[in-house]
A = this chain, B = another copy of it.
């Protein structure tokens, strides 16, 4: 091969393969660059064109229908990221490892990192210079006791500044966040209309479910559009003081999104990473006041009061230093909240509460009022202790329902009501007695196996809660699915382990207060 051939460039080509958050470059095995540079499949390469560059993992192709030897293919996301047209000449080079991996290696060997290290790491992550395994190395090294409080603060600050930051030009922008783990816990869809009806600004963006059977965005989507373009979102908020949208379109704390895409499948998390993740998102979203809900229970994420208190201190420490007004509320996480688990069933619960329907689940109503009350007290004009009563008035008077209807109309109501899944069965008590335990984890799993959140009508409808008396053979809950396969998956789970325990009244799982 002559020098000339080697120095030539390749023609850019879009390969219609979706590789999600990982950029992939496709190079033909007979490409001159390939042998010359000593590339190897899975090497990281830098693609340079037009003064711009992106990083990608290399796949070697043996089929000219995918890429020709004179072409460089990019997966859909990578192609979009480079933002050039098909046929554009590009150069390819071995990518140097991201410079901040040095800091990660120092963390692995137990050193304490400085603010500039965390900025370098998040900035390399956002520039797509980290592979999944490099991120996993960072997460494991900085998990558990890997970071001290100051380092968690530096990480929070670096993640906050890794993307855009919203400014609502309002003195008080409130938000709430639950650390998760409790199925059916859809309080956000009640808190937002209550608080906004009071006149507070609450531009709520939520995630879709990743490991749970429904996120607020999945459930809200049963009622209206949640994928709002930034302008639309701002218009809704300006007019109605609130929104209930999906947060995926904004580029807020993007380093956090990317790290989460590694953390979740690994099933690892640490208090430090959780706090940095939550607070960076809220700060980037322009929140000034935040209420954090930590449910505690034997099958919740946080299982002991001691652990909840530790986490509360950490939230407070970082929140104070990042200048966000933050309060933590510790709630009962001993069983699912409400009756429904899954988008359609949870939306039904929420609308029953807003409609003051006598069938509405009272625990969902109580919890939402308690949270809304605390948020209302962020208003300097609300006297301490009066928030709950104000929230209740707003809900009982129908003003919360009206606000919700306004938000649904503004975001774009769905055309047709989505029904529950057409296939269903009941899980019944094997003995008579009192419900002593309901396992959050198993109920969430059953709802997911049944198809939630992808199949909106799939899920679980709880007919009995902790402390309820049941007769042998009486139904405990009903499972809904849209497809037979999912129905069977859920069935084989509930046949083995249904998540309920029936026993004597004195064995009923105590709420967190008594742990």
Residues of A within 8 A of B (CB): 1, 3, 6-7, 15-22, 24, 26, 29, 35-36, 38, 40-42, 44, 59-63, 65-66, 75-76, 97, 101, 105, 108-110, 131-137, 139-141, 143-145, 261-262, 265-268, 451, 454, 483-485
| Given contacts A110-B144, A267-B105, A59 and B19 within 8 Å (CB-CB) | yes
Q: How many copies does the complex hold?
A: 2
- How far apart sit A92 and B75, CA to CA, in the bound complex (Å)? 23
Residue of B nearest to A139 (CB): B137
- How far apart sit A293 and B356, CA to CA, in the bound complex (Å)? 79
The residue that A133 contacts in the complex, of B17, B29, B76, B133, with Cβ under 8 A, is: B133
The residue that A485 contacts in the complex, of B3, B41, B141, with Cβ under 8 A, is: B3
What are the residues of chain B within 8 A of A75 when measuring CB–CB?
59
What are the residues of chain B within 8 A of A265 when measuring CB–CB?
44, 97, 131, 133
- How far apart sit A15 and B60, CA to CA, in the bound complex (Å)? 11
A31 to B: closest C-beta gap in Å: 12
The winner among A97, A137, A485 for most chain B CB atoms within 10 A is A137
What are the residues of chain B within 8 A of A38 when measuring CB–CB?
451, 454
Query: Given known contacts A3-B485, A105-B267, what 15 new A-B pairs fall within 8 Å (CB)?
Result: A3-B484, A15-B63, A16-B63, A17-B60, A17-B61, A59-B75, A101-B266, A109-B144, A132-B133, A133-B262, A133-B265, A136-B136, A137-B137, A137-B268, A140-B140
- How far apart sit A143 and B132, CA to CA, in the bound complex (Å)? 18
| Given contacts A18-B62, A66-B16, A141-B140, A36 and B483 within 8 Å (CB-CB) | yes
- How far apart sit A44 and B264, CA to CA, in the bound complex (Å)? 13
Q: Is the CB of B6 within 8 A of A22?
A: no
Q: Is the CB of A19 within 8 A of B6?
A: no
What are the residues of chain B within 8 A of A17 when measuring CB–CB?
26, 59-63, 66
A127 to B: closest C-beta gap in Å: 18
The winner among A1, A17, A131, A268 for most chain B CB atoms within 10 A is A17
Q: Is the CB of A61 within 8 A of B483?
A: no
Residue of B nearest to A64 (CB): B16
- How far apart sit A137 and B7, CA to CA, in the bound complex (Å)? 39
- How far apart sit A22 and B137, CA to CA, in the bound complex (Å)? 18
- How far apart sit A501 and B145, CA to CA, in the bound complex (Å)? 42
A55 to B: closest C-beta gap in Å: 13
11 A-B residue pairs with Cβ-Cβ distance under 8 Å, sorted by A, are A3-B485, A6-B484, A6-B485, A19-B42, A24-B59, A59-B75, A62-B76, A65-B66, A105-B268, A131-B132, A133-B136
Q: Is the CB of B63 within 8 A of A40?
A: no
What are the residues of chain B within 8 A of A18 when measuring CB–CB?
29, 41, 59-62
